[in-house]
Chains A and B, each alone.
Chain A
Amino acid sequence: MTDTTATGRQLPDRLDNPVKSAVLSWESLLVLVALAIFIANSFASPYFLNEWSLSDMTFNFTEKALIALAMALVIITGEIDLSVASIIALASTMMGLALQYGADTPTLVAVGVGVGILCGAFNGALITGLKLPSIVVTIGTMSLFRGIAYIVLGDQSFRGYPASFSWFGQGYVFWVISFELVLFLLAAVIFYVVLHHTNFGRRVFAIGNNATAARFSGVRVDRIKFILFCLTGLMSGLAAVLLTARLGSTRPSIAQGFELEVVTMVVLGGVSILGGSGSILGVVLAALIMGLVTFGLGLLNIPGIVMSIFIGALLIVVIALPILFRMWRQRRA
């Protein structure tokens, strides 16, 4: 027991210095890493320090990062959604199908986002209704959703999206600032506020730290988890709109392997894979780092397979680092 002073004392709000803990945070480390990679890139390639190059760079992460924002919340509750890339495939396929029936741009967007939400709700219903582990459910729906896309499309592809639709993936709001980047930054602000400044966000953290105690504290755990899976579905649907618009076509293999990069972004951003902690700022910085790294490797003409090896290795390292650090500290204590 930590008897501090005699009775009648007032408990202070906090003892640690907020400035000091901000300086020592994971996020400030990420800022340093991002700066280092930025500088390395500019030495490595003469084409890097150019406003259009940098603008192109953002396309490397915006779609995945949109999903990572919602995925961060899911992982903080101790769950995971591995079906996000397949939701993109299914949503994109359904948009292509709607196009065949002459859908206009607003309808296409509604179809993409709507299919995303439905897929997320399907995941959420299985996980909270039947109490199945999310990793199993979403591995299942990962195959299921993309499987449907393959049935509809076979080895064909949908093309011929209208120009007004393509703007979502190719348009610029002003100068070199793309619509995708603006949408991502807007979403990041919204997710930041929701996670760190609302009751909902507070409950998300409580669930991740101890779902049983949270339920015993009157938190509607299942309802919140269901909403979060709908949210990753929604963000995947949005990503499907952006990606389809950017590529101008739908193939069933679209966005293959995105889930790995999304999870890597979230974990690199400092979200504990075991749930309970993390921040949106970290995820945004991690997205930027991943974009910088892949773009830098691209500038150096490093083949895609090496990039995926790199991302796999990065995922393992960022998951192992905090655990190794804890072991090291325990051994010293």
Chain B
Amino acid sequence: MTDPILTLTGISKSFPGVRALHNVSLELYPGQVTALIGENGAGKSTLVKTMTGIYQADEGEIRVKGQAVSLPTAISATNAGITAIHQETVLFDELSVAENIYLGHAPRNRFGMIDWKTMRTEAQETLDSMAAGIDAGIPLKELGIAKKHLVAVARALSVDAQVVIMDEPTAALSQKEIEELYVLVELLKKEGKAILFISHKFDEIYRICDRFTVFRDGEMVGKGLIKDTPESEIVKLMVGRSVDHIFPAREAAIGETLLEVKGLSHPTEFENISFSVRKGEILGFYGLVGAGRSEVMQAVFGMTSVSGGTIVLDGKTIAPRSPADAVEAGIVYVPEERGKQGVITGETIFKNVSLPSLDKTSRGGFIRMAEEFALARTYTERLDLRASSLSQNVSTLSGGNQQKVVIAKWLATLPKVIILDEPTKGIDIGSKAAVHGFMAELVAQGLSVIMVSSELPEILGMSDRVVVMREGLMIETLENKNLQPETLVRLAAGIAEGKAA
């Protein structure tokens, strides 16, 4: 067997409060495609960033063709022959295709200026060798996503990359475009490139990959040859995990229906979504990234407008046209993007917490600071917030504590329905347990909780029922009784039951 081009050994990487990668290893062989498989948050992106010089590993070694290399910058990774094609291509819309291909290593003429003619011809040759059918002279913005991927591949060929990382390259492609991409992958294989292929879709993994490596919670849990391994085994590797987290026991008595959503549709993001949540119930929403779960929730929260459907809360039909309307009605939303949408960075903890409740803490529109501090203290202490004072700037808090501030802010409004979007994504284990414990407490008080999550243990550990979404459609609503993680993964990824059994 040939030696691997790229070898990673003992790579570890931590962020404040999060252990993203722990002692992982990976080998990539020339002329072969290795699939990197894992749930969201398993550490795949962190690994890619480590390999492309965006992050630096805390520990471990990267070897290219047996030589140990260090990759302090993105350019050093390119020079080492490693290039990545991302889900959202990182190319320049306003530049021409040829310029995109040769950016940073354009051919020069004898005056040291860019040799446009050679660049254009060579770019065209590369594109033609791929049968891309793209004119190297046109601006990149005139191409669709699929064609942009081709340009990215051409760029990889032109820099003579030995290792090509493809990070969910098919996520935004149509079936026909995907087929074209497969042809390209074959081409790269023939050229002897080592390819790392990241994907959630099992059909394509089995179609084009030779090897696989499975990550779970930042650790490498299994690897092997695709042709020797049935799908069910890989799914098991992905989801089966050590019991590192005990979910709180639930004592909530489930009451009558509180929120009922019928036929909710959006012109592009989702269609005909119907679900209901009862008092004291946690409804889980499971699906792959991009399945449209957050979009549905933001529509219920009044952030985006819908093209059809009804929302009934507590027997009354509501049509929130802004989050302010939704909050008034009693629906609150803890967004996934904590830093951008959740907390107001640059402001203090107490101002963040009191913002939606100002009408309650003030008198006649005039601020009463004592009331605000009291409100903030009540709710942040219930969540065991770790901070030095209530006037601390939220941007200085860890992710988990920022999340507690966001939840405290909403609890103070005394909501009826609380929607949590990936509530424990990227936060430390301690804060995770606090958030989970609190969710159990909330439903015990008769609130309804909707939890969007891509983490299977969380979905299975917390939900009473689970809605599975795929590509903007509702696939199934399941009672969480003897629910197998494999079932959810299959439904979310669209794998037929018989095939995987």
Contact = CB atoms under 8 A, between A and B. Distances in A.
Contact of B323 (A2, A193, A217): A217
B347 A216 contact: no
A216 B362 contact: no
**A-side binding surface: helix, strand, loop or mixed?**
loop
B267 interface: no
B134 interface: no
A206 interface: yes
Which 4 A/B pairs are nearest by Cβ-Cβ distance? A14-B391, A218-B327, A209-B346, A1-B398
Interface string A1-45: 111100100111111100000000000000000000000000000
Given A197-B366, A217-B344, A276-B346, A203 B358 contact: yes
B342 A215 contact: no
A18 B164 CA distance: 57
B377 A10 contact: yes
A213 interface: yes
Contacts of B398: 1-2
7 contacts: A202-B358, A203-B358, A209-B346, A213-B343, A215-B323, A217-B355, A219-B324
A12 B381 CA distance: 11
A15 B391 contact: yes
Given A11-B381, A210-B345, 5 more contacts: A4-B388, A205-B351, A210-B346, A214-B344, A216-B333
Interface in B380-405: 380-381, 384-392, 396-398, 400-401
Contact of B344 (A16, A197, A198, A213): A213
B324 A220 contact: yes
A16 B400 CA distance: 24
B340 interface: yes
A277 B393 CA distance: 13
Interface in B347-369: 347, 350-352, 354-356, 358-359, 362, 365-367
Given A2-B388, A215-B303, A209 B324 contact: no
Interface in A183-214: 193, 197-203, 205-206, 209-210, 212-214
Given A3-B386, A4-B386, A216-B335, A200 B365 contact: yes
A115 B335 CA distance: 42
B1 to A, nearest CB: 46
B16 interface: yes
Contact of B324 (A206, A218, A276): A218
Nearest to B384: A7
A3 B390 CA distance: 14
Given A1-B17, A197-B367, A218-B327, A11 B341 contact: no
B373 interface: yes
Contact of B389 (A12, A210, A218): A12
Contacts of B385: 11
A215 to B, nearest CB: 6
Contacts of A199: 358-359, 362, 365-367
Contact of B340 (A11, A200, A213, A219): A213
Interface residues of B, number: 52
B344 A1 contact: no
Contacts of A14: 389-391
A1 B355 contact: no
A269 to B, nearest CB: 19
B386 A2 contact: yes
Contacts, number: 122
Contacts of B391: 13-16
B322 interface: yes
Nearest to B323: A218
Interface of B: 16-17, 303, 322-324, 326-328, 333, 335, 340-347, 350-352, 354-356, 358-359, 362, 365-367, 373, 377, 380-381, 384-392, 396-398, 400-401, 409, 413, 428
B345 A216 contact: no
Range, interface on chain A: 35 or more
For B354, B389, B409, the residue with the greatest tally of chain A CB atoms inside 10 Å of its CB is B389
Given A1-B386, A218-B323, A206 B344 contact: yes
B355 A214 contact: yes
A24 to B, nearest CB: 16
A12 B324 CA distance: 30
Contacts of B340: 210, 212-213
Contact of A202 (B367, B377, B397): B367
Contact of B351 (A3, A4, A206): A206
A3 B428 CA distance: 13
Nearest to A216: B341
B390 A13 contact: yes
B346 A219 contact: no
Contact of B377 (A11, A16, A193, A217): A11
A210 B324 contact: no
Given A1-B17, A11-B381, A199-B365, A209 B347 contact: yes
Given A198-B367, A210-B340, A217-B355, A1 B389 contact: no
Nearest to B342: A213
Given A199-B367, A210-B340, A217 B345 contact: no
Contact of A1 (B16, B345, B347, B392): B16
Contacts of B16: 1
Contacts of B367: 197-199, 201-202
Contacts of A203: 355, 358
B322 A202 contact: no
Nearest to A200: B365
A167 B441 CA distance: 67
